[in-house]
């Protein structure tokens, strides 16, 4: 059975190891507002911000050109940093880029590599906790959106999505609906119906 749990709520009467929980001798308790599955013992956050991890793909805006480095706004408490001599692309302040995180510095700054400029298009920001649902199991959800709208999507794990071409408005509508209804079941089918009904 799946249920919504809040911080401090008991998930299990024995201490077991689950992400985003704390344990004591009497049980395991949630630390977040999340969706808990009793069978698979998984706790999925409903809210919450993204924290950089190495290997994550992100979409961000170049904030400042410092000559040897670029700082990137990642919509998170920590900034991204690109070291200019390691890249071949020509980037400038206010460019929108996609890049992946190579490593994290001690103060939380994310060192980004392989930046690519994104030109034209539209950017929307969603709750980072809903990104896995927008991507879907084995990309099913995102594939469904691109197939039905012809829009190409670039999804940053930091919650910024870049859209270009095709029916951008319909794609945006679908993404915002997924964000709102991420915790419900049967969402893939509902989104498909919605996309097919609005397709021109």
Beta bridge partners of 103: 111
DSSP 3-state of 87: coil
CB under 8 Å to 40, separation ≥6 — which residues? none
Residues in 105-134 that interact with other proteins by CB under 8 A: 106-108, 129
Strands 34-37 and 42-45: antiparallel
Cα→Cα distances 61→41, 48, 72, 79, Å: 37, 21, 6, 10
Stretch that binds other proteins, among 3-11, 53-61, 153-161, 167-175 (CB under 8 A): 3-11
Residue found under tokens 């199991």:
137
If the CB atoms of residues 55 and 77 are measured against other proteins, the closer one turns out to be 77
- 61 beta partners: 73, 96
70-74 CB contacts, 8 Å cutoff, 24+ apart: 72/97, 72/99, 72/112, 74/110, 74/158
Q: Indicate which single residue of 22, 84, 93, 113 sits in contact with other proteins (rule: CB under 8 A).
A: 22
Nearest to other proteins of 75, 152 (CB atom): 75
In the complex, the smallest distance separating the C-beta of residue 179 from other proteins, rounded to whole angstroms, is 11
55 binds other proteins (CB under 8 A): no
Residue 29 engages other proteins in binding (rule: CB under 8 A): yes
61 binds other proteins per the rule CB under 8 A: no
Which of 37, 38, 42, 49 contacts other proteins by CB under 8 A? 49
Q: Which residues bind other proteins (CB under 8 A)?
A: 4, 6-9, 20, 22, 24, 29, 31-33, 45-49, 51, 77-79, 106-108, 129, 180-181, 183-186, 190
């Amino acid at each position: 059975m799946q249920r919504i749990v809040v911080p401090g709520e008991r998930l299990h009467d024995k201490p077991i190891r689950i992400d985003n929980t704390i344990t004591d001798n009497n049980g395991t308790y949630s630390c977040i507002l999340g969706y808990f599955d009793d069978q698979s013992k998984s706790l999925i956050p409903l809210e919450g911000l993204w924290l950089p991890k190495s290997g994550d793909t992100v979409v961000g805006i170049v904030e400042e050109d410092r000559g040897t480095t670029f700082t990137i706004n990642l919509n998170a408490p920590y900034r991204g940093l690109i070291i200019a001599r390691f890249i071949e692309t020509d980037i400038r302040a206010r460019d929108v880029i996609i890049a992946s995180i190579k490593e994290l510095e001690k103060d939380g700054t994310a060192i980004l590599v392989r930046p690519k400029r994104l030109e034209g298009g539209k950017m929307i920001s969603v709750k980072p906790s809903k990104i896995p649902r927008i991507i879907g199991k084995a990309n099913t959800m995102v594939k469904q959106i691109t197939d039905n709208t012809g829009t190409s999507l670039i999804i940053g794990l930091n919650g910024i999505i870049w859209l270009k071409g095709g029916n951008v408005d319909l794609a945006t509508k679908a993404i915002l609906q997924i964000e709102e209804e991420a915790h419900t079941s049967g969402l893939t089918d509902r989104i498909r119906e919605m996309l097919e009904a609005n397709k021109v």
